[in-house]
Structure 1
Amino acid sequence: MTQLDLPPWPYPRWIAHRGAGKLAPENTLAAFREGARHGYRMFECDVKLSADGIPFLLHDATLERTTNAAGPLRGQSNVAGHHHWHALSQLDAGSWHCAAYAGEPLPTLEAVARYCLHNDFFLNIEIKATPGTEHHTGAEVARHAARLWQDAAVPPLLTSFDVESLEGAMQSAPELPRGLLLDELWTGWLERALTLGCQAVVCNHRLWDTSSVTQAQSAGFRTLSYTVNEKVDAQRLIALGTDGIITDRVDLFEPDQNIQLSI
């Protein structure tokens, strides 16, 4: 199967990483709004579960880097997934970035869904399970996503480095598209993506070359890359015929630009 034989791919090529997670606090609605201001229509974000089962946006397993948890949760667990949503919703997820975003809250997946659906934006949900909860998190995030996007023309793309999370997502909402995230091309990566029923493989951009792109596309997968912040890397990936570029540099790349990039 060649790229021309692949089913239609409904997502834009350019994807804003963690919203616009360098110009605004990552994984917040403020970051989404900043990405949208730069013309982006698709966003990547990280989603995990609170202790009471609410899907919310956060990259790290712990809270210190991107919230003020050391104050409100002093003496309690620093693991985000150990807390109920009520406590998490009180945290400041913006001040760490700069004073202008003081008080920006952690958003729920439901809030992000409302924002994306209202504005006709697309979403890539990376499932970021609290260690030890991979299968359950994948299943629950997929279940909520299927509910939230049940009437949408284009559902979110669910991705994860965790095979167990993708297995949970596949069992819970098999109709949602999935992608296997890779930071190395470990033995059996292509076969595993097939058994997981994935539609895409999302690689560290350095892993894509003519051979790996051909392997993936010949097996029927779309090829996406993270995290691409240099023009020379973007040009190489576009020349290879890949399908998606996840970037922090929403201020550098115009999302509707043509294949030819000036370097």
Structure 2
Amino acid sequence: MTHPWFAPTARPRILAHRGLATATDAEGRAIVENSLLAVAAAHALGVDYVESDCHVTADGVVVLFHDDDLHRVTGDPRRVAEVTAAELERIMEPRGGLLTLAHALDAFPDLRFNLDVKAEAAALPVGRLVAPHVQRVLVTSFSDPRRRRALAAALEATGGSRPATSAGTGTLVRLLVALAVRADRWAARLLRDVDALQIPERHRRVRVLSTRLLTVAHAAGVEVHVWTINAPDDMRRLAALGVDGIVTDRADLAVEVFRRA
């Protein structure tokens, strides 16, 4: 059966990558990615999905933050794991506001979240926090073991329900090998425990997205979402190819493209 996370039927799905960080706040300050205002801006567009990332602060709070340190986003050289949630809240206040995972799930009850578990320490708390919301959460990670730990924590907390999930790097690499050698049964086995493949078109010199990957994934009931696509012409091209989801920094442009289509 299709996981409830996929209930909206419009295609392609628009996944607002780290919210929408192209606007400014009421005082003209830039809104940074993964902030409260970035997610609120994406929500205001009417998108169904927000893609975000999970780290854990020094006092054990799961926060939406991509990098393992604060330097690129805030100029502070410390790691997320070295600051408390209260400290990070003060740092993020002029940048759109800190958003914890618990607050995100409560404040945006009609959004579906695509959560990338970035830190080992985040796996168990993410799984436990999303347990009451499994119908509208997809959990992923580049690390398949980390992803599976988060899913197991959610399953334990719910007594049998889990979030949707997409493949980690290890699963994806094996899938590409299986496709290359035409090992369709192996490919089908690899896809049994995932609901989606979330991939770039290419990784360095390796083409990841192909019509064969789309065919095999769809035959297994698995969706294919491509990241990070910001040009409208690329959005249209991938939708025509049969891609199920577009992960984009420019959800505003994607909404224009596909509402006019």
Q: Which TM bucket (shorter chain)? A: 0.7 to 0.9
Deviations 1:118-169 (A, max 9, x none): xx2221111111xxx2xx422221111113x26xxx3211121111211212
Contact persistence 2:3–2:164 (CA under 8 A): no
Distance 1:40 1:61, change over 3 A: same
Tell me the CA shift for residue 103 of structure 1. 5.2
Match of 1:59? Answer: 66
Q: Give the % identical residues.
A: 28
Structure 2 counterpart SS, 1:187: helix
Structure 2 counterpart SS, 1:252: helix
Segments of structure 2 that go 5 or more residues without pairing to the other structure are: 24-30, 156-161, 177-186, 203-207
2:100 aligned with 1:108: yes
> Aligned pairs, how many?
229
Structure 2 counterpart SS, 1:180: coil
Structure 1 residue corresponding to 2:191, chosen from 190, 194, 199: 194
Match of 2:116? Answer: 126
| TM-score, normalised relative to structure 2 | 0.76
Higher helix share: 2
Deviations 1:159-195 (A, max 9, x none): 2111121121222124111112559952346578536
Distance 1:162 1:145, change over 3 A: same
Give, in whole Å, the separation in 1 of the partners of 2:122 and 2:3: 29
2:19 aligned with 1:19: yes
Contact persistence 2:140–2:147 (CA under 8 A): yes
Give, in whole Å, the separation in 1 of the partners of 2:54 and 2:111: 17
Structure 2 counterpart SS, 1:186: helix
Give, in whole Å, the separation in 1 of the partners of 2:259 and 2:222: 23
Tell me the CA shift for residue 68 of structure 1. 4.7
Q: Superposed, which structure 2 residues align to 1:1-263 within 5 Å?
A: 9-11=6-8, 13-23=13-23, 24-69=31-76, 78-92=78-92, 102=94, 104-117=96-109, 120-129=110-119, 133=120, 136-147=121-132, 149=133, 154-174=135-155, 175-181=162-168, 185-188=172-175, 190=187, 193-194=190-191, 197-206=193-202, 207-254=208-255, 257=258, 260=261
Give, in whole Å, the separation in 1 of the partners of 2:140 and 2:92: 27
What is the RMSD of the two structures over their aligned residues, measured on CA atoms?
Answer: 2.8
Contact persistence 1:68–1:91 (CA under 8 A): no
Give, in whole Å, the separation in 1 of the partners of 2:220 and 2:171: 18
Give, in whole Å, the separation in 2 of the partners of 1:44 and 1:144: 16
Give, in whole Å, the separation in 1 of the partners of 2:64 and 2:3: 30
Give, in whole Å, the separation in 2 of the partners of 1:20 and 1:69: 22
Tell me the CA shift for residue 209 of structure 1. 1.9
Distance 1:80 1:191, change over 3 A: farther
Distance 1:173 1:87, change over 3 A: same
Give, in whole Å, the separation in 1 of the partners of 2:260 and 2:118: 32
Mean alpha-carbon deviation: is it higher for 78-87 or for 18-27? Answer: 78-87
Tell me the CA shift for residue 214 of structure 1. 1.2
Mean alpha-carbon deviation: is it higher for 210-219 or for 82-91? Answer: 82-91
Tell me the CA shift for residue 18 of structure 1. 0.4
Deviations 1:12-63 (A, max 9, x none): 6111110013333100111112223333232111111123321101100111
Tell me the CA shift for residue 219 of structure 1. 2.6
Tell me the CA shift for residue 234 of structure 1. 1.4
Mean alpha-carbon deviation: is it higher for 43-52 or for 247-256? Answer: 247-256
| TM-score, normalised relative to structure 1 | 0.76
Give, in whole Å, the separation in 2 of the partners of 1:181 and 1:257: 28
Letter in 2 for 1:203: I
Give, in whole Å, the separation in 2 of the partners of 1:238 and 1:14: 11
Contact persistence 2:235–2:254 (CA under 8 A): no
Distance 1:184 1:230, change over 3 A: farther
